[in-house]
Amino acid sequence: MNFFICLQVAMFTVAGEHLTLRMRKMAFESMVRQEMGWFDQPANNTGALCARLSADAASIQGVSHLKSLRW
């Protein structure tokens, strides 16, 4: 029984990592496809975009981690 719980937590962790990577890639691709003027806005400078990628990925990873622990 304990083995299956560990296996389930491990599988949720792996799935959460894949989801986080996929979401980060999609967000980055979306940012790269923006028009040049979009990057001139103060809210879209390099630091803000990097922080947004990091924070969004961390929140997705946090949700998937909580889901695996709830089981």
pLDDT tens track of the chain, all 71 residues?
688 888 888 888 888 888 888 988 999 999 999 999 999 999 999 999 999 888 887 787 777 666 555 55
Could you give the CA distance from residue 21 to residue 27 in angstroms, rounded to a whole number? Answer: 10
Question: 51 in a domain, yes or no?
Answer: yes
Question: 7 in a domain, yes or no?
Answer: yes
Question: What confidence score (pLDDT) does residue 2 get?
Answer: 87
Q: What is the DSSP letter of 42?
A: G
Domain that includes residue 23, residue range: 2-27+46-70
Question: What confidence score (pLDDT) does residue 37 get?
Answer: 94
Question: 19 in a domain, yes or no?
Answer: yes
Question: 14 in a domain, yes or no?
Answer: yes
Question: 20 in a domain, yes or no?
Answer: yes
Question: What confidence score (pLDDT) does residue 69 get?
Answer: 59
Q: Per residue in 11-45, is it b (16+ CB within 10 Å) or e — as a string?
A: ebeeebeeebeebbeebeeeeeeeeeeeeeeeeee
Question: 9 in a domain, yes or no?
Answer: yes
Question: What confidence score (pLDDT) does residue 28 get?
Answer: 92
What's the structural domain count of the chain? 1
Question: 60 in a domain, yes or no?
Answer: yes
Question: 33 in a domain, yes or no?
Answer: no
Question: What confidence score (pLDDT) does residue 8 get?
Answer: 86
- First-residue to last-residue Cα distance in the chain: 13
Residues 20, 67: contact at Cβ < 8 Å? no
